[in-house]
Every structure is written in structure tokens, then in C-alpha cells.
Amino acid sequence: AQTVTQSQPEMSVQEAETVTLSCTYDTSENNYYLFWYKQPPSRQMILVIRQEAYKQQNATENRFSVNFQKAAKSFSLKISDSQLGDTAMYFCAFMKRYNDMRFGAGTRLTVKP
Amino acid sequence: DGGITQSPKYLFRKEGQNVTLSCEQNLNHDAMYWYRQDPGQGLRLIYYSQIVNDFQKGDIAEGYSVSREKKESFPLTVTSAQKNPTAFYLCASGVEQFFGPGTRLTVL
């Protein structure tokens, strides 16, 4: 079974600085997807970024980027120029092709003014 | 506007009652999913459906049932067999898992 581990239950960062959230996963699959989701206090789950395992290039979305290390089974999220609105729970997730999504326990990020 | 909706936002149930949570999407997605989230935890998969009239159990399907009679709809029934149903329930659709706003179920 696939497992996803987020080793940082809580993190904080000063506004405008950069923070990196860690995620590791365990799988024997070769083809899969990895995701980072943001869950603000409203509890709406918002897709931040997605990475296909067959792509070597790291995904980026504006201030959000990932460091995908397939051999190490690592998928960290870097948030640049942190904003107060980035304060939320962040979940790393793993999915085999089109089914069986697995989520980590989450990292609570607080951006301080 | 395309999107995914869940209703109701809050639901209260007496012990021994079955309740049904609604999930509707107009994104033309084949795949739909139900998750449960407990306080301070990540999401756990209850059921998923890749196509109409077909669905599979996730990790915690016991005490739950689903149907997928239409592409747009994937209702979840929480039965009286579910021992601890108080939780936040999230529905999602599509490979990228677009999520609805969630339903907070409380057993009185």
C-alpha cells in the first residue's frame, strides 16, 4: 500500500520569505501523480500544484514550486514570497492512475506579518 | 460556471438513522470520490467511482454506501452501521480531484 508522510506538523514563516514543506511517499509503482493541496480555515480543498511521475521537470505555479526527487521518493513544496493568505493546512497526496488517492496528515503553515 | 456542489453544509443525525449526503458536478468528469476528514488528520478515501453504474470501496467503506446512476451525481449514505460518523465529508471529481465545499456531519 502507498503511504504519504509529512514530517512537519506545523511550520511558520515571515511574510515575504520562502518556506519549504516536506513530503515523502512509499510506493512500488512507476507511474503515478503527486499533488499539493491547500486547506484554509474555510476547509475548502484547493489544488496548489500537480506533478506527473514520468516528468523529470519540476512543476511550478507562480510562487509555488516543487522539488520532485523520484529515486528518493520525495516531493517538497516551496512557497516563495509568502503572503498572509498562504496561511492554511497543506496536504501532500499520491495517486496511482485515476484512482486510490492517499493523503499525508498535513502541515499547518502560519505566515506571520 | 462549472463546479462541484455538496449539500447540506451542516447535517445533524440521531443515532440509528441513515443520512444521505449529496454531491453534484457539472464538470463532465467521469471519476468521483468521497473522503472523510477527522480533526487534525488528512483525508481518507471512502468510495470512488470511475464511471456511471460502477464504484469501488476505499480504505474505510464500512458503514457507508454509494450509488452512481448519473454522471453528475454521486450521493453518499451514512448508515447506522457506521460507528463513529461525526466528521467532515468531502466530495471530489476528476483526476485532479476538484473538491466540493464539504458537509459537516454531527451525530447527536
Work out the pLDDT band at B3, boundaries 50, 70, 90. very high
In chain B, what percentage of residues exceed pLDDT 90? 77
Q: Is A45 exposed, middle or buried (0-12, 13-18, 19+ CB in 10 A)?
A: buried
Q: Mean pLDDT of residues grouped by 10 in chain A (113 residues)? A: 88 97 93 94 92 90 95 96 97 82 93 96
- Is the distance from CB of A71 to CB of A24 less than 8 angstroms? no
Q: Of A45, A100, A104, which is closest to B99 when you measure between CB atoms?
A: A45
* A28: CB partners within 8 A, 6+ apart: none
pLDDT of residue B27: 94
pLDDT score recorded for residue B19: 94
Residue-wise pLDDT for B52-86, tens only, equals 999 999 989 999 999 999 999 999 999 988 888 99
A93 interfacial to chain B (CB closer than 8 Å): yes
Count of pairs with CB atoms under 8 A, one residue in A, one in B: 56
Residue of A nearest to B36 (CA): A103
**Nearest chain B Cα distance for residue A94, angstroms:** 11
pLDDT score, position B2: 66
**pLDDT-based confidence at B40, cuts 50/70/90?**
confident
